[in-house]
Structure 1
């Protein structure tokens, strides 16, 4: 039996990697679908006519709008050649502002790209090359003959973007407001240079001035030019016809949140106040009520970011509800136990206000883009308070992701997460009207039908900005299945995905390149189904006994608790855990690292209470359906905060160059084979690559992680480094790979990758030749996808967890003594609070 002190919570173990490996053997990338056979004379003439028609169309709209017709022209191309982007950028000096794959009826894929030519001069060069192609010339001009033929053979269509394609989702649903002026969000195509971005913004200001409008706010990043515009109908119509405009939309409005009250509880005792050593979560929302009896003293800073309410105090309720869960992590557990122990402090970043026409709703202030306001708030509390965790229980339900280009808001979050080394937690979004299954006979069949609809209904996919690649997205599962409403039953069983919760996948450049989203789920309420005998069923979204308990905006002197439903209230559960993950990483490594914190969250996740059967994964293979519904599962905050004798977490933080590997050797604890019961190994890899919304692949780099067994370090090097000898490079036998789930293929397009291996009957692990004990080698690799100009090094965090179901099995000390441990620069004794 382990000593008593060994059963107490311990700091996670910081580990170091083995000496560097050589660069990887890169595989050549494909060249797209087969090129069609062309009659070059006819095809070249058609290209010339299509280019002329597109330029004429652009020029006419430009002249009507009153801006220069010969600058920054945007034209759409479809090509069978996946390399056509390089030709436009390198040979014609153009900027590709959007790129994605478009499936055809035959099952092949065309490359869709929008090309922004700096001036008519570059378009003239394209025309000249088309003429050379039409004559089948062997003369080298701007393009060598072979490249010219490949490039123009691949072009299928050339046109301008239509007016309808520029209409955003909410504008399409609701149309323009009747009263002028009104505010609209305008996204402009980014030309790729700061000078070009200034030029398109100046063009926008010109048009606004000519149509009695104005640019209220603008936001520029490396690939985005966004504006909030006060507009007339005439101005909006002009913008919808303009080639430099990517989208015109109505500003987002966030839905109302309702709740009911619990019984009276006592305020926090005077001694339950922060010491100042607790982690801080910044809540970007409608504000927080700092005088709330359960939050008093725990709101350490607050600021109103120009919402127009002239106070940082919550006037709506949503922010106070979110803050309670961030502070306590699990309010329901506090209610059940009667013990209120706040442990996380709040920085109140007020970015939302009550809607002027309907106080049940929240909205961003009229003159500000959400992207700009959120960026200001994040930068402020990162600079002034050192905040590392930011909770965004926000989303635009009108922007439901259906593949294609990444959302601007999501890209802003990704760039901030990378630049500032922070963790941003985003709610998956809510579907207010989930489909009602038909033709079902039982309650269980109905609930299963609701679950299945989450996977088949396009309206149930993630909404903006939950597709963010580096931010952590959180969906909702039901805590309760016992509604208070008469003549009703719960839409989901306990522990299952809530009917309203949106599901993945996240950003996908093609069906085989999709991100795991949401990464996690947490308790966030449930819906009830209400129907009188023989009547049409309807959803009940405000049932007291189905909601997630949290703090209420009790400015009326009423009870301080409420129960609410929505992914907004699942997200702060994970924000609370993320704050502790930063602490755990600093204790183990002596540094603050967002990637390592995300990795710790990953290896601390477990299957939701509904079980794998309900998640359409009865064999526990981490199927894609399961990943879409709940990602990697629920985060266990106790596992985040500390290791135990039988549950040990190893952490690494490092940087690897593109097309290189890092290797970690982990001797398997001898006690891991002892006793009966389940046991397992989990690995999680998190990284923060550069991103570009103008690129189809979006992620400038991808990474992967594999676990190898029964090999020596020299054998690993032989299999994985450059092959310089004669014959083919040696391939790694599949028998040497630990069979982990999900597969590497399923997670390789995600910036957080969690893979697991579990044994119900453990028969041991192979021992390498010449070794005396089994060793697992964890291999981490990085692959560049496209040029980005941000250096070759890619930061990453790695977490490895060994666990055993028998609490008497000691593995922590054996791991600590045997791995290549990392010397800590700073050690903070926080473990005493984790018991």
Structure 2
């Protein structure tokens, strides 16, 4: 008989940190709720939270059952085979019938799980045409064991196997915080061919191996149309006290746009081998963070930014290091003890991604690492969603001429429909699925002067009048169906080029150009130039602008509140910046209507699924950087920071200005809550802490109701950002010095963490367009202070 001890059988969200020799893989089909209900009736089974299981709506969810011993595993296998043969289950095991009815497959963990289909395809491409003795790099994840002795034994077995197959280990990493243990190795093509075939006699058959993946490669950016640099005004003194760090390529520190603004800590010795002419990625990203899009004229940031290169020669990941280890070492060097190199850094820009790791439901080690470091150090990681530059067909247009001459609205509808048809192939790239970080998509806008638009005429603008994501911007959702990307930031008006035409067209995102790009610092192309400028686009650039905006928000708060703001803890300032960065984002009305009308689904009760399609493209919405920083006379934004213990709540009093009272005209109230959660890799719920804003009972008296063009309560409740917006045009009933309580509530924890208070940041805006006295009225009444509960 199976053990009935509730601790004996557990369903887990992630196989990381488990023992695969006692692991059964459940491939769920159909309704997840039915599977959850069925497992509740089986003694000893503990199901992960339903939201964590349903982490990829484009693929069958997978659960993992850890059994106490091999005897139990074989018994469950026997029950499954009995059920599959159509025979009755033995007495006492009838509840398993309903579980099995929800499954597509049940099998022990094996070679087919260690080598995922997408990884096998990449490895096939890697070895094509190569001799059997040629060496190919691989990342081998080892079954994580918490004890040092067991971990060492596992690694020894794996490294011996690698040597036996003719390979060599290049580097290793073991990170307890995220249950990660891996080696980077090189194996001969012949051994890799056996891995691709999932042969039990290959490395894929070694019990201590969790996964075998191709070596990570960085997503590339386009930098094109090099021009001589525009004159650079001498900036005021720049403070050498960074609050923002960049993990990227080696920047060109001698460039006139960068030399006073960037400090480089070459922790991994990558700078000497990075040719100046190849320092493209780091130079472009640091330029955007310091100066913004150079098509505009913006003042540089007042502080230096701290750069630790993680890309070396040719702007690539080092060939002999695991990227997860590089990121871990870089962040702990900056913020760890006893001597952190950048102790005040609370914003970290990562405009990078693993081009070989699209997100399909399972969190990558890189994302898990960012989540853990964010909570441990109180850091806001700002991450690019990823650029997917693969070509795709656009039905409805016979040839290039038809596509080019189509009405703007028809062309936009055709491209949005085409992207939706291939959405499963255009997913976020690791680590963009991070739960604690903000993921940035590329908004189809830039600041190219009108006269320069002609330089893009050889390509076609798919969205001349539509405010949406670029064609190459990776699509959501994120882990556990969380809203991802979080926001869209300017990533240029990306054009497309027709790559095949006749009886239909196939297009691909076009390169950046002077006519469709963001202007950045670049290495010199002509000999003798001290530095040049060029044009870039995409989500890497958008993430850099988001990081710049977060810094600008920090500067504005520091200027307004001085030490009251600066004395907040790193974590409190990080979560406040997180809330304020997302807070102004909105779904563009025309884009919302187009996606809803084009993709549906249609009929009563389909609003949540329609919103799923909208947020897949644009997250919480598009953001104008100036809106996140600038004040306006007819709106007031109130902020608060605090901390909440488990199952506690706090009422934050929101001042209601008399200016909105008695006027039957459009007005709105919006609120954004952000926090950093502890994470539990391999446990029943990865996201340990959940918070929410409760809809006020008396909100109706203010003449507003829940705004329809926003993620619903269930959709916004799946990450670490929670937003609500109420709008209307009925006259509000406002009394003198009126405030209303907005309740922030921490939900019951998933378990497995210490009951400690978790910081949160809250932003609330009250606005009535045209009422110019609104801001000053609220400003006179409010002085934000930390809240504890």
Normalised by the length of structure 2, the TM-score is 0.77
Cα shift at 1:471: 0.9
Aligned residue in 1 for 2:726 = 757
Aligned residue in 2 for 1:561 = 533
Q: Is 1:541–2:511 an aligned residue pair?
A: yes
Aligned residue in 2 for 1:349 = 308
Aligned residue in 2 for 1:381 = 334
- Tell me the alpha carbon deviations over residues 798-824 of structure 1, each in whole angstroms, 9 at most, x when there is no partner: 11122332262233443552x685279
Change (3 A) 1:488 1:637: closer
- State whether residues 292 and 554 of structure 1, in contact with CA within 8 Å, keep that contact through their aligned partners in structure 2: no
Aligned residue in 2 for 1:705 = 693
Q: Take 2:623 and 2:205, find their aligned partners in 1: how far apart are those partners?
A: 47
Aligned residue in 2 for 1:114 = 64
Q: Is 1:470–2:436 an aligned residue pair?
A: yes
Q: Take 1:532 and 1:171, find their aligned partners in 2: how far apart are those partners?
A: 28
Q: Take 1:347 and 1:749, find their aligned partners in 2: how far apart are those partners?
A: 32
Cα shift at 1:568: 1.0
Q: Take 1:136 and 1:428, find their aligned partners in 2: how far apart are those partners?
A: 47
Q: Which among 202, 210, 214 is matched to residue 164 of structure 2? A: 210
Q: Is 1:484–2:440 an aligned residue pair?
A: no
Q: Take 1:607 and 1:94, find their aligned partners in 2: how far apart are those partners?
A: 35
Q: Take 1:434 and 1:781, find their aligned partners in 2: how far apart are those partners?
A: 45
Aligned residue in 1 for 2:198 = none
Aligned residue in 1 for 2:680 = 692
Cα shift at 1:432: 0.8
Change (3 A) 1:788 1:696: closer
Tell me, what secondary structure is at the counterpart of 2:723? strand
Tell me, what secondary structure is at the counterpart of 1:518? coil
Q: Is 1:521–2:488 an aligned residue pair?
A: yes
Q: Take 1:120 and 1:160, find their aligned partners in 2: how far apart are those partners?
A: 10
Q: Which among 753, 761, 766 is matched to residue 789 of structure 1? A: 753
Aligned residue in 2 for 1:181 = 135
Cα shift at 1:600: 1.1
Q: Is 1:286–2:249 an aligned residue pair?
A: yes
- Tell me the alpha carbon deviations over residues 192-250 of structure 1, each in whole angstroms, 9 at most, x when there is no partner: 66665444333322322433434412232343333322333465532222344332121
Q: Take 2:366 and 2:649, find their aligned partners in 1: how far apart are those partners?
A: 32
Aligned residue in 1 for 2:421 = 456
Q: Take 2:553 and 2:20, find their aligned partners in 1: how far apart are those partners?
A: 50
Tell me, what secondary structure is at the counterpart of 2:266? strand
Cα shift at 1:413: 1.0
Change (3 A) 1:110 1:433: closer
Cα shift at 1:490: 1.4
Q: Which among 643, 648, 663 is matched to residue 636 of structure 2? A: 648
Q: Take 2:549 and 2:716, find their aligned partners in 1: how far apart are those partners?
A: 22
Change (3 A) 1:340 1:330: same
Q: Take 2:52 and 2:757, find their aligned partners in 1: how far apart are those partners?
A: 25
- Could you list the runs of 5+ residues in structure 2 that have no partner in the other structure? 3-8, 10-18, 29-33, 196-201, 601-606
- Tell me the alpha carbon deviations over residues 316-373 of structure 1, each in whole angstroms, 9 at most, x when there is no partner: 3111011110101332212xxxx65443522121111235xxxxxx321122111111
Tell me, what secondary structure is at the counterpart of 1:574? helix
Change (3 A) 1:149 1:488: closer
Aligned residue in 1 for 2:603 = none
- State whether residues 687 and 795 of structure 1, in contact with CA within 8 Å, keep that contact through their aligned partners in structure 2: yes
Change (3 A) 1:534 1:687: closer
- State whether residues 434 and 499 of structure 1, in contact with CA within 8 Å, keep that contact through their aligned partners in structure 2: no
Change (3 A) 1:427 1:527: same
Tell me, what secondary structure is at the counterpart of 1:396? coil
Q: Take 1:73 and 1:533, find their aligned partners in 2: how far apart are those partners?
A: 51
Change (3 A) 1:699 1:84: farther
Change (3 A) 1:264 1:208: closer
Between stretches 578-587 and 794-803, larger displacement belongs to 578-587
Q: Take 2:26 and 2:207, find their aligned partners in 1: how far apart are those partners?
A: 14
Cα shift at 1:393: 1.0
List aligned pairs for 1:261-272, cutoff 5 A: 261-269=226-234, 271-272=235-236
Aligned residue in 2 for 1:799 = 763
- State whether residues 487 and 621 of structure 2, in contact with CA within 8 Å, keep that contact through their aligned partners in structure 1: yes
List aligned pairs for 1:531-680, cutoff 5 A: 538-539=507-508, 540-554=510-524, 556-558=527-529, 560-583=532-555, 587=561, 589=565, 590-591=567-568, 592=570, 593=572, 594-606=574-586, 612-613=592-593, 616=596, 623-641=611-629, 643-673=631-661, 678-680=666-668
Tell me, what secondary structure is at the counterpart of 1:742? coil
Q: Take 2:555 and 2:94, find their aligned partners in 1: how far apart are those partners?
A: 58
The root-mean-square deviation of aligned C-alpha atoms, in Å, is: 4.5
Q: Is 1:331–2:294 an aligned residue pair?
A: yes
Structure number with higher relative contact order (C-alpha < 8 Å, ≥ 6 residues apart): 1
Tell me, what secondary structure is at the counterpart of 1:776? strand
Cα shift at 1:473: 0.6
Change (3 A) 1:547 1:492: same
- Could you list the runs of 5+ residues in structure 1 that have no partner in the other structure? 1-39, 45-50, 52-69, 139-144, 356-361, 509-513, 712-731, 826-835
Aligned residue in 1 for 2:604 = none
Change (3 A) 1:287 1:95: same
Q: Take 2:55 and 2:585, find their aligned partners in 1: how far apart are those partners?
A: 36
Q: Take 2:744 and 2:716, find their aligned partners in 1: how far apart are those partners?
A: 13
Change (3 A) 1:256 1:153: closer
Tell me, what secondary structure is at the counterpart of 2:740? strand
- State whether residues 394 and 429 of structure 1, in contact with CA within 8 Å, keep that contact through their aligned partners in structure 2: yes
Corresponding pairs, count: 701
Cα shift at 1:688: 1.6
List aligned pairs for 1:54-453, cutoff 5 A: 72-77=21-26, 82=36, 100=53, 112-115=62-65, 120=70, 150=95, 154=99, 158-165=106-113, 166-167=115-116, 169-175=118-124, 176-177=126-127, 178=130, 180-191=134-145, 196-215=150-169, 216-220=171-175, 221-233=177-189, 236=192, 237=195, 238-254=202-218, 255=220, 257-269=222-234, 271-276=235-240, 279-307=242-270, 309-310=272-273, 315-334=278-297, 341-355=300-314, 362-382=315-335, 383-386=340-343, 387-402=345-360, 404-440=361-397, 441=402, 442-444=406-408, 445-453=410-418
Change (3 A) 1:823 1:546: closer
- State whether residues 47 and 684 of structure 2, in contact with CA within 8 Å, keep that contact through their aligned partners in structure 1: no
Q: Take 1:533 and 1:249, find their aligned partners in 2: how far apart are those partners?
A: 33
Between stretches 661-670 and 186-195, larger displacement belongs to 186-195
Q: Take 1:642 and 1:195, find their aligned partners in 2: how far apart are those partners?
A: 56
Tell me, what secondary structure is at the counterpart of 2:440? strand
- Tell me the alpha carbon deviations over residues 27-66 of structure 1, each in whole angstroms, 9 at most, x when there is no partner: xxxxxxxxxxxxx9xxx9xxxxxx9xxxxxxxxxxxxxxx
Change (3 A) 1:646 1:94: closer
Aligned residue in 2 for 1:497 = 469
Q: Take 1:657 and 1:373, find their aligned partners in 2: how far apart are those partners?
A: 33
- Tell me the alpha carbon deviations over residues 607-647 of structure 1, each in whole angstroms, 9 at most, x when there is no partner: 56976545658999993333222222344444444645533
- State whether residues 219 and 226 of structure 1, in contact with CA within 8 Å, keep that contact through their aligned partners in structure 2: yes
- Tell me the alpha carbon deviations over residues 393-421 of structure 1, each in whole angstroms, 9 at most, x when there is no partner: 1112332223x322221111111111110
Q: Take 1:744 and 1:554, find their aligned partners in 2: how far apart are those partners?
A: 50
Q: Take 2:117 and 2:765, find their aligned partners in 1: how far apart are those partners?
A: 45
Q: Take 2:747 and 2:501, find their aligned partners in 1: how far apart are those partners?
A: 59
Cα shift at 1:116: 5.1
Normalised by the length of structure 1, the TM-score is 0.73
